[in-house]
């Protein structure tokens, strides 16, 4: 029965379209003109077999590699981005400086168990940790969660100790209704604030189980400058998941466990990076902007393939593919590659401040900062009047396996949150994780983790949506 109805609907739609337009493929689209929908479909299908996003992520990971703000790699990344935007035919390419008051030298990190059983541990300094000034030896005191540390009264009860927060993201069970990834948020509490809270209780240092979902002898780094003025700065490091389990197995024997930590990390004075912006300038309404974001910087252990080479590549490729069409889109499309995301959205904040007077002309923004996985769901945060348009746009990406549930409460993701706060409407594609938190902030974040077909699917979805948004005479603002 369903089949019969479907055929009937199709025949009706065919006969209706025959009256309205020349296209033999027309379907009932009240908002999107058929010729435009046809163009979007062809663009989408071309993107599915265009390897440009994969080539771009291969290029930045191979030719640039790690690119933390304040490092030589970051400067190489800025030069790479400028050159790529130019090669890809963007109409305008420029940089905007991203200054930050504090720099950081990672240095070397080592840790070992001294007693009861000697063992080397795999450890990585957390971002902006101070060094240990030589070997720092102390008994470790385990806290299963950050909240368990907070439950200790401030004072000096942890004097001479090393706090060990053993929270495992991999074993975390989200409460009903919470996202499967909410364990990341739980884990980052200790990563960003643990050293301050441990210091307030007299501890000499803090080690945390790496915030991740893997079982590798590899540490997950992270965090920016999160000190409080009147709290002593103590060293903070992440040990690998297997080493955290080893410490727990020792502690279960009821014996004191003493660890030696040695970090040669150092805080330094001011640094600067740059946001790099490339624009495909609109043919008709050049001062109406659609903005595509990703972050140019990465952590410094891997080559930043999934975080956020995949975002840089898919967003550059999205605009470049639209820019390859016969004519420029009606509106301008701007790709903003933010610097300093990893140390706390520093580049995004600088961009939002510097451009605060024009953000009301940003009709729609999206960011990719979740790896190169396929999109599974479209969510929006647009003015209520334009939601039916988003639904029609959605229908043209639905064949890519993307769902839509009408949710319209999305905010800008990652860097774009700063522009979202300034009023920018958001259109986000939620992505398959492709084991994102196995690799995130580790030496394992390398090009081989990119799944080429997935990156093409992701880019095809953005190309379709932003081509349509650039051509339609629709205001997506609230």
Binding site for a second copy (CB under 8 A): 58, 61-65, 116-119, 122, 215-218, 241-243, 245-246, 249-250, 302-303, 442-444, 446-449
Output the smallest distance, CB 257 to a second copy, in A.
Answer: 11
Q: Which residues pair with 120 in a beta bridge?
A: 112
Give the residue from 200, 193, 124 showing the smallest Cα distance to 165: 193
Element (H or E) spanning 355, and its range? none
- Contacts made by residues 69-72, CB under 8 angstroms, sequence distance 24+: 69/98, 69/100, 69/271, 69/273, 69/297, 69/339, 69/340, 69/342, 69/343, 69/346, 69/347, 70/100, 70/103, 70/104, 70/268, 70/271, 70/272, 70/273, 71/300
Task: Specify the pairing of strand 375-381 against strand 403-404.
Answer: parallel
Output the smallest distance, CB 445 to a second copy, in A.
Answer: 9
Closer by beta carbon to a second copy, 367 or else 445: 445
Closer by beta carbon to a second copy, 214 or else 367: 214
Output the smallest distance, CB 2 to a second copy, in A.
Answer: 41
Alpha carbons within 13 A on the beta-carbon side of 455: 30
Output the smallest distance, CB 245 to a second copy, in A.
Answer: 5
Closer by beta carbon to a second copy, 214 or else 279: 214
Output the smallest distance, CB 134 to a second copy, in A.
Answer: 19
Cβ proximity of 269 and 279 under 8 Å: no
Closer by beta carbon to a second copy, 252 or else 327: 252
Closer by beta carbon to a second copy, 66 or else 365: 66
Give the residue from 187, 270, 202, 274 showing the smallest Cα distance to 234: 202
Task: Specify the pairing of strand 362-367 against strand 236-239.
Answer: unpaired
Write out the two tokens for 162. 């090393």
Output the smallest distance, CB 309 to a second copy, in A.
Answer: 13
Write out the two tokens for 139. 């008994």
Report how far apart, in Å, the C-alpha atoms of 237 and of each of 134, 206, 395 are.
15, 7, 47
Output the smallest distance, CB 216 to a second copy, in A.
Answer: 6
Closer by beta carbon to a second copy, 197 or else 300: 300
Closer by beta carbon to a second copy, 81 or else 277: 81
Closer by beta carbon to a second copy, 200 or else 449: 449
**What CA–CA distance (Å, rounded) separates 246 from 249?**
5
Output the smallest distance, CB 434 to a second copy, in A.
Answer: 12
């Amino acid at each position: 029965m369903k089949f019969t109805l479907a055929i009937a609907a199709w025949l009706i739609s065919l006969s209706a379209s025959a009256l309205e337009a020349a296209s033999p493929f027309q379907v009932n689209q009240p908002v999107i003109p058929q010729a435009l929908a046809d163009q979007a479909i062809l663009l989408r299908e071309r993107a599915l077999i265009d390897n440009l996003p994969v080539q771009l992520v291969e290029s930045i990971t191979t030719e640039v590699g790690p690119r933390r703000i304040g490092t030589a790699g970051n400067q190489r990344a800025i030069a790479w981005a400028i050159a790529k935007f130019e090669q890809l035919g963007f109409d305008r390419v420029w940089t905007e400086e991203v200054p930050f008051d504090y720099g950081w030298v990672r240095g070397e990190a080592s840790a070992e168990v001294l007693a009861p059983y000697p063992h080397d541990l795999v450890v990585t300094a957390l971002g902006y940790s101070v060094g240990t000034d030589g070997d720092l030896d102390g008994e470790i005191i385990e806290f299963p969660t950050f909240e368990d540390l907070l439950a200790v009264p401030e004072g000096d009860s942890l004097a001479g100790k090393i706090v060990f927060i053993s929270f495992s993201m991999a074993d975390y069970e989200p409460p009903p209704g919470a996202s499967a990834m909410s364990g990341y948020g739980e884990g980052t509490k200790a990563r960003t604030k643990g050293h301050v809270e441990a210091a307030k209780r007299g501890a000499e240092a803090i080690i945390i189980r790496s915030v991740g979902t893997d079982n590798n002898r590899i540490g997950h780094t992270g965090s920016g400058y999160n000190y409080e003025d009147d709290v002593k700065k103590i060293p903070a490091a992440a040990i690998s998941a297997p080493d955290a389990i080893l410490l727990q197995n020792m502690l279960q024997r009821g014996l004191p466990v003493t660890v030696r930590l040695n970090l040669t990390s150092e805080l330094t004075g001011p640094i600067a990076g740059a946001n790099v912006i490339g624009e495909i300038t609109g043919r008709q309404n050049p001062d109406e902007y659609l903005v595509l974001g990703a972050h140019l910087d990465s952590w410094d252990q891997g080559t930043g393939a999934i975080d956020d080479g995949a975002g840089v590549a898919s967003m550059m490729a999205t605009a470049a593919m639209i820019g390859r069409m016969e004519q420029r889109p009606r509106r301008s499309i701007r790709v903003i590659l933010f610097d300093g995301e990893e140390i706390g959205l520093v580049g995004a904040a600088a961009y939002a401040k510097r451009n605060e007077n024009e953000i009301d002309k940003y009709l729609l923004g999206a960011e990719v900062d979740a790896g190169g996985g396929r999109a599974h769901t479209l969510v929006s945060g647009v003015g209520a009047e334009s939601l039916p348009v988003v639904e029609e746009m959605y229908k043209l990406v639905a064949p890519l396996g993307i769902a839509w549930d009408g949710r319209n409460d999305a905010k800008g993701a990652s860097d774009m949150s700063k522009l979202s706060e300034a009023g920018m409407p958001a259109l986000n594609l939620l992505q398959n994780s492709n084991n994102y938190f196995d690799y995130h902030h580790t030496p394992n974040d390398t090009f081989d983790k990119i799944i080429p077909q997935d990156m093409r699917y992701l880019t095809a979805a953005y190309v379709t949506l932003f081509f349509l948004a650039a051509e339609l005479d629709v205001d997506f603002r609230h």
